[in-house]
Structure 1
Amino acid sequence: MQGTDAIITKAELVIGSDRQLAEFDIPAEKQLVLPKLEVLKKLLAEQHDQNVVLLASGDPLLYGIGSWTLRQFGSDCVTIVPGISSIQYMFHQVGLAMNDTYLTSSHGRLPDFDFLLAHKTVGMVTDDEIGPYQIAQEVLKRHQHRTIYIGEQLSYPEEKISQLAPEQVENQKYNMNVVIITNA
């Protein structure tokens, strides 16, 4: 499989967030900022005979844009080029083993917290609706003693990792984050 740079160079169109597009040397006429999903679906269907790259970060096959793309167009039309998983990266940064960890996401979905918190360790990609604060509140409701790790802007210069007790997690915006909940 070719490397990411070679794939992007050969692409006729590269779609991604402003931040993702800025990471590569892509001519402006080949760039498109990621639109809403319904617009993206139509655009990709119209471009079916072109070499289009859809940039994704984090864990796009964990309830993310990668899963969505496969559902819409099928594995015969989509090639996934993996990078490092944001959850894997986070576990490495905090020095925790991933053995027996339950992995999930709250992107656009309401997790079953009774099920999640029955696990010793959970790795989770979150969104603006169900983020670190909401997760901490669910832990507190169940009177569990857990450690919560919050990783923001992982692998970027602005990376920030916090290790907190649930009662210490503030109700604020957390940028592009991964949460680890553990009693290990």
Structure 2
Amino acid sequence: MGMITVVGIGPGGTQDYLFGKAQAALKEANVIIGSERQLEILTEEERLKGVRLPCKLDDLAELLKKNQEAQIVILASGDPLTYGIGNWLIKRFSAENLRILPGISSLQYLFNRLKIPMEDCFITSSHGKKPDFSLIFKLPKVGLVTDKKMGPYQLAQEAVKRGHEATFYIGEKLSYSDEKIRCYKASEVPDEDYLMNAVVIINEG
């Protein structure tokens, strides 16, 4: 079986946050798998090797099986092992056949844009699941990857229910030209659709 390399492309829609080894892996690959948005960062030559990421992971497993002799790159937004596809892959492939090249996660990017240290941060997700609210509103600093069902507004409402006037930093489309970073108290977070967002919550002591 050929090598599967997972490339963390970092935030954004360009190769600005791709490290040298990641760029080399893209050039050497026979097949590059990614979402439509991820494939847009490839050069014209690399796009000739691009394959659209299937919607279902079972279909991805079949695609990898069909191309098992190829040098495959799978693109991962942000960092592959921060709520990314890397976790699914390491459960299914041996270390000899899998290489993971980390990228900058959206949370790393957001903390650095805010100039807030993240070494004491609890990282979690509300993407496709209900987070432990009793925990996240008790800890001093929390970073979350969210989705449309449990996004910034819904999280803020849970804080309000519990009487926590936490500070919410909401980053949308991070590193894109139309990046937006806003700060609200929990009771002030607007009820709206948030695009490609990450959230940092600072709980008052």
TM-score, normalising length from structure 2?
0.83
Look up the match of 2:107: 87
Does the 8 A contact of 1:103 with 1:122 survive in 2?
Answer: yes
The corresponding residue for 2:51 is 32
Within the candidate set 44, 55, 58, 2:78 is matched to 58
TM-superposition CA deviations, 1:43-63 (whole Å, max 9, x none): 112222211111111243123
Q: Distance in 2 between matches of 1:162 and 1:77?
A: 42
CA contact (8 A) 2:80 2:100 kept: no
5+ long unaligned stretches in structure 2: 1-18
1:15 is displaced (CA, Å) by 1.1
- Please identify runs of 4+ aligned residues in structure 1 that moved more than 2 A: 26-29, 72-77
- Please list, as runs of the form range in 1=range in 2, the aligned pairs for 1:1-184 lying within 5 A after superposition: 3-25=21-43, 26-36=45-55, 37-183=57-203
RMSD: 1.8
Query: Using the alignment, how far apart are the partners of 2:133 and 2:79 within structure 1?
Result: 20
**Closer, same or farther in 2 for the Cα pair 1:40/1:33, shift >3 Å?**
same
* Amino-acid identity (%): 43
Q: Deviations over 1:127-168 (max 9, x none)?
A: 222111111111111110111001111111121101111122
Per-residue deviation at 1:86?
A: 1.4
TM-score normalised over the length of structure 1: 0.92
Would the alpha carbon gap of residues 2 and 162 (structure 1) be closer, same or farther in structure 2, given more than 3 Å must change? closer
Q: How far apart, CA to CA, are the structure 1 residues paired with 2:26 and 2:114?
A: 32
Q: How far apart in 1 are the matches of 2:109 and 2:20?
A: 23
